[in-house]
Amino acid sequence: MQTLQATILTSVLMASASAQSLGAKYYCPAADNSTGSPAVISATGSDVVGGNALNLLASGMPNNQFGFFLVGPGTGLVVNPGGSQGTICIGGGLGRFNGQVMNSGSSGTISAVVDTLALPVNPLTAIAGGETWHFQAWYRDLNPGSASNFTDAIAIGFRDVGITADCSANLTSGSAPLTVQFSQAAVGASGFAWDFGDGGNSTAGNPSHTFSAPGTYLVELVTTGSAGSAADLLVIEVTSGPPTFSPVWAAFNVVDPNVGLSCLGCHGVGGFANLDMSTEAGAYAALVGTTANCGNGNILVIPGDANGSLLYQKLANTQTCGQSMPFGSPYAGDLALIYDWIQAGAQQ
Ligand code: HEC
């Protein structure tokens, strides 16, 4: 049994070593093609310069269509270039491997070995250690008439023999502001240059960096040492922070045209149903997690469950006990905002 497991493990390790996947995917929205999904690029082989050991693969293409790979030094974002259905994700001068035009055949894939000593940019360029290059594929499609499209893009950092730039992060996604602790496990490196992709830089080995705005950032570490230079990449996704809901209480202050009264008109100090909403803090405390007077076991605000909260039911006129609010008429205020506030956890 143990022997069997060891054999399986060894073969898995060997399989993954022989097809080591390379590169980082940065945000670039590949558009669906006539198959109904986008085509994707991947890279395997070696990131060491000077050899022809880098393989590119594009899959998910329509069958029996022509395509070729593209390369460039930077990121870009051009949607529907020249009437294409796709997006160019490469910037800084686009090179076309148009000496290697391929047919996607019955598998919808194309693949190519890249000559890393002669990238088809102008002039022909050999990849050097410490450089990052970006790859993507262009292809023909019938969707429904003759059209073209692109895969998503991959960024690959290259290295000289004897030096690496292995970088990692304690977090690769989260909401803004996002503080990320970066670290490196580089071999043969004495100098470090981090580019956080948002204009920030560092020369520390293990820097921490705060991304203040939402976005997708391609973080690059370039290391230097006696053997030369190396680059490695990471993608950090920063989403927008949690919404703020101060207008919820403000809405309870607004006079409702249906009744000519705000909630506070009846639910101020000593108001009906022991619901004193005369201060913001009091209103939150009186509502969130509070058992209602009305009906058996009703809770006024259940964080994360707007439809089950009696407050929301009374405002939406779906309550199973008592009157809709404000007293006897539907709420004319911002019901969607209150719904979102409860769904998001009903924070004060
Ligand atoms: C005209 C006076 C009046 C206004 C205006 C009013 N309410 Fe009420 N409210 C009452 C009365 C009376 C009750 C108790 C009877 C009932 O639940 O039907 C009550 C009950 C409630 C309850 C149930 C409390 C419990 O513990 O059962 C909630 C929740 C509530 N109101 C929310 C609001 C909100 C929010 C507003 C503003 C959009 C508002 N009310 C406006 C008179 C009012």
Site to substitute for ligand 1 among 248, 267, 294, 302, most atoms within 8 A of C-beta: 267
The pLDDT of residue 138 is above 70? yes
pLDDT value at residue 162: 96
Report residue 18's pLDDT band, with 50, 70 and 90 as the boundaries: very low
Evaluate if pTM is beyond 0.85: no
Say which amino acid occupies 64.
N
What token pair was written down for 4?
A: 């069997």
Pocket (CB within 6 angstroms of ligand 1): 252, 259, 261, 263, 265-267, 272-273, 275, 292-294, 300, 310-311, 314, 322-323, 325-327, 331
- How confident is the model over 261-283, as pLDDT tens digits? 899 989 988 888 888 999 888 88
- Is the pLDDT assigned to residue 88 strictly greater than 60? yes
| Amino acid type, 45 | G
* Probe residue for ligand 1, chosen from 266, 280, 300, 317 as the CB with the greatest number of ligand atoms within 8 Å: 266
Q: How far is the CA of 317 from the centre of ligand 1 (A)?
A: 12
pLDDT averaged over the chain?
90
Model confidence at 19, pLDDT cuts 50, 70, 90, reads low
CA distance 161 to 37: 39
Mean pLDDT (whole number) for 16-45: 86
What is the structure's pLDDT at 249?
83
Cβ–Cβ under 8 Å, residues 295 and 310: yes
Which amino acid, 284? Y
Q: What distance in angstroms lies between residue 275's CA and the mean position of ligand 1's atoms? A: 8
- What per-residue confidence (pLDDT) applies to 295? 82
Determine the distance separating the centroid of ligand 1 and the alpha carbon of 321, expressed in angstroms.
Answer: 11
| Ligand 1 centroid to residue 261 C-alpha, Å | 12
Atom of ligand 1 nearest to the CA of 300: 29
Give 272 Cα–ligand 1 centroid separation in angstroms.
7
Q: Give residue 282's pLDDT.
A: 87
- Between 96-105, 118-127, 245-254, 303-312, the lowest mean confidence (pLDDT) is in 245-254
Q: Tell me the pLDDT tens digit for each residue of 285-334.
A: 999 999 999 888 899 999 999 999 999 999 999 998 989 998 877 888 88
Domains of the chain: 17-157 (2.60.40), 167-239 (2.60.40.10), 247-343 (no CATH)
What's residue 258's pLDDT?
82
Q: What is the pLDDT of residue 108?
A: 98
What are 211-228's pLDDT values in tens digits? 999 999 999 999 999 999
Band of residue 201 on the pLDDT scale cut at 50, 70, 90: very high
Q: What's the CA gap between 112 and 100, in Å, rounded?
A: 8
Name the closest-CA residue to atom 21, ligand 1: 273
pLDDT at 261: 87
Give the mean pLDDT of 152-166.
96
Give the distance (Å) from ligand 1 centre to CA of residue 302: 17
The contacts of residue 327 (CB under 8 Å, 6+ apart) are 259, 261, 266
Residue in the structure block whose two tokens are 């919404």? 243
Q: 17: pLDDT confidence band, cut at 50, 70 and 90?
A: very low
177 closest CA partner among 209, 218, 131, 138:
209
Nearest CA to ligand 1 atom 42: 327
CA 275 to ligand 1: nearest atom: 24
CA-to-CA dists, residue 260 to 91, 177, 179, 275, 316, angstroms:
59, 42, 48, 19, 18
Q: Which two tokens stand for residue 103?
A: 């047919």
Q: Which atom of ligand 1 is nearest to the CA of 295?
A: 27
Tell me how far the alpha carbon of residue 323 lies from the centroid of ligand 1, in angstroms: 7
Predicted pLDDT of residue 241: 75
- Per-residue pLDDT, averaged over 192-201, amounts to 97
